Structure 1
Amino acid sequence: MKVAVLDIKGKETGRKADLSDAVFAIEPNEHAVYLDVKQYLAHQRQGTHKAKERAEIAGSTRKIKKQKGTGTARAGSIKSPVFRGGGRIFGPRPKDYSQKLNKNVKRLARKSALSIKSRENAIIVVEDFSFETPKTKEFKDILKSLGIENKKSLIVLGDSNNSVYLSSRNLKGSEVVTSSEISTYKIMNANNIVLVESALEGLESNLNKN
Structure 2
Amino acid sequence: MKVKVQTLDAKASGDIDLADEVFGLEPRADILHRVVTWQLEKRRGTARATRERSDVARSGKKFGRQKGGGTARHGDRRAPVFIGGGKAHGARLRDFNPSLNKKVRALGLKMALSAKAKDGNLIVVDALDVAEGKTKTLAGQLAKLGFGTKALVIDGDALNVSFALASSNLKGVNLLPAIGANVYDILKHDTLVLTRAAVEKLEARLNG
Q: Deviation of residue 129 (structure 1)?
A: 2.3
Normalised to the residue count of structure 2, the TM-score between the two structures is 0.76
Q: Is 1:7 matched with 2:40?
A: no
What is the CA RMSD across the aligned residues, in angstroms? 3.6
Q: Residue in 2 aligned with 1:60?
A: none
2:41 aligned residue: 42
Tell me, in whole angstroms, the C-alpha distance in 1 between the residues paired with 2:42 and 2:17: 34
Amino acid at match of 1:194: V
Q: Does 1:145 align with 2:144?
A: yes
1:45 partner amino acid: R
The 1-side partners of 2:184 and 2:113 are apart by 11
- Shift of residue 137, structure 1, vs aligned partner: 3.3
**8 Å CA contact retained: 2:23, 2:117:** yes
Q: Structure 1 pair 109/119, CA: closer, same or farther in 2 (3 Å)?
A: same
Hey, what does 1:70 align to over in structure 2?
none
Task: Give the partner amino acid of 1:91.
Answer: A
**In 1, Cα distance between equivalents of 2:74 and 2:101:** 53
- Tell me which moved more, 16-25 or 41-50: 41-50
- Give a deviation string over 1:15-51, Cα, whole Å, max 9, x none: 1221111111112233222222112111211114445
Aligned to 2:172: 173
- Output the CA distance in 1 between the equivalents of 2:165 and 2:55: 46
The CA distance in 1 between the partners of 2:53 and 2:140, in whole Å, is 59
Q: Where does structure 1 lack aligned partners over 5 or more consecutive residues?
A: 58-66, 68-73
Query: Comparing 124-133 with 102-111, which one deviates more in the overlay?
Result: 124-133
1:160 is matched with which residue?
158
**Matched residue type, 1:7:** T
Q: Percent identity between the aligned chains?
A: 33
- Number of residues paired by the alignment? 202
For 1:173 and 1:105, the matched residues in 2 are separated by 29
Aligned to 2:89: 89
Write the deviation string for residues 78-121 of structure 1: whole angstroms up to 9, x where unpaired: x9789xxx9352524252x1222222211111111111111211
Structure 2 vs 1, CA of residues 106 and 140 (structure 1 numbering), >3 Å: closer, same or farther? same
